[in-house]
Amino acid sequence: MALAAFLFALSVSAAAIKLKEPLAAPVPHFEHAYTVSRLPSRGSIQAMSELRTVDSVIRLTRGNGSSLSSLYVQAMRLQDTGREEGYSRLTTGSLPLVNIEQGTVFLAPATVGGQDFDVVIDTGSSDPWLVSTGFDCVDPYTHDDEPEDYCYFGPLYDPSQSTTFAPIPNRNLNLSYADGEFINGLVGYESFTMGGITIPQQQFSAVNFAGWYGDGISSGLVGFAYRTLTSAYAGTDPKADKAGHQISYNPFFVNMYTSNTTAPVFSMAMSRNENEGGVMALGGIPDIPHSPYWISVPIIPVGVNASSGEVVYEFYTIVIDGYAYSSDQSAQFNPYASANSRKRSLVGNGTQAIVDSGTSLMYVANDVAVGVTLAFTPPGTCDPSSRSDPTCYVPCHSIPPVFGVTIKKKVFFVNAQDMILQNGVDDNGIPNVLAVFDIGAEMMRFSAREFYGLGSYGATASPGGYS
């Protein structure tokens, strides 16, 4: 049993309610002691953008595979709980990660150089890249040569079939990820279209060397983090690249708003339908039902640092007020911490949480995970032998408790349909809010989609919108 995510995931370096037996999949590993640090502000902060409904909307689909963000979160969780000691070390000295997310990535269509692809959407990295024809595939851990289909990419980008590709001399892309996967490639300019918006000369990489476990659909990735995380280097030999010597450039979305093509915002809303992924709007919000009320909270940019000190990933982080949960379906909560004894207090006050496009579960602190499990009717159980990182279960017929995440004194409730994973397969998606990444103002903005209590003073558990 696991909690499906409130949005993408509101995550902390702690235990998640999760499945007892993950589905069989290639076991990822990590080879760094990761740390996190606050990143500096991006300079002048703009006023919040007017939220307009836009036509530049991308229909997202789901793919099988571990997202980059989930791998970094899992790596830090294992370090934080000390669970590394429970695993056998490989000859490389690396440690396995637990695939608790069951492998879900969100894909979007893109047209690059007149060729159509599906790409992974990732809010924690910056580089746009596609695997190209004739690439060399190797095993990510042994580095043994393998046939192309071993890396399991979708269709390959063919530079020779493009009339707009312009290589950049003496430049290479060099990216490594938390699970040991890596890519190297040529760097150039290319016509890049997503959501009906075209950047005619977008810098990107045509990957020619990859250690990768793909999903069989996606051909690459488009990052939506800041330009400070781009990974282009001088020269043509990736072995000569040095950490900290990257050459920054504008990622796809940054080029969109700096060229005044769109407002500096993008928004995402996920679908519960297992055959759909949701929608992503560039420069505004999609035309979907949502509450008329919004809350706004500052983005705290947080970097994930490898043992070398290099920032290798970035999370959009916010401060939440805490969690609201109860087995009483008519419970009232007290986000203002008033003296009203009839209203229930929040748990986990002042938690910093990650808002992320690549994690389909919600990660919460141990006491919250256990408390929510025990609030099911009938109650669930948690394995007492793993108190540092408890594994919790509930019967599939259990009635979920009321559960919500409180941001700026407003409680966003998670739909009961998203509270249980049936048979270890996450079909529920993450439909509870519409989230806006206002990059220009460095703010996150949220609106309830299902009117599950965008509550104010002492929010109630019943649907009904803003009170």
Active site residue ranges: 122, 356
Token pair recorded at residue 226: 């800041």
- The DSSP code for 11 is E
Asked whether the beta carbons of 262 and 436 are under 8 A apart, the reply is no
Give the Cα separation of 70 and 61 in Å (integer): 18
* Cα Dmax for the chain: 70
List strand residue ranges (DSSP E) for 212-242, in order. Answer: 220-223, 232-234
Please state, in angstroms and rounded to a whole number, the distance separating the CA atoms of residues 22 and 100: 6
Query: What DSSP string describes 169-212?
Result: EEEEEEEE-TTS-EEEEEEEEEEEEETTEEEEEEEEEEEEEEE-
Radius of gyration, CA atoms only, the chain: 22
Per the listing, tokens 């996150």 go with 444
CA dihedral 211, 214, 217, 221 (to 10 degrees): -60
**Eight-class DSSP state of 101:** T
Residue 24: Cβ within 10 Å count: 7
Token pair for 258:
């700096």
46 close to 441: Cβ distance less than 8 angstroms? yes
What lies within 8 Å, CB to CB, of 231 at 6+ separation is: 126, 127, 173, 174, 175, 246
The distance in angstroms from the start CA to the end CA of the chain is: 32
H/E segment holding residue 80: helix 68-81
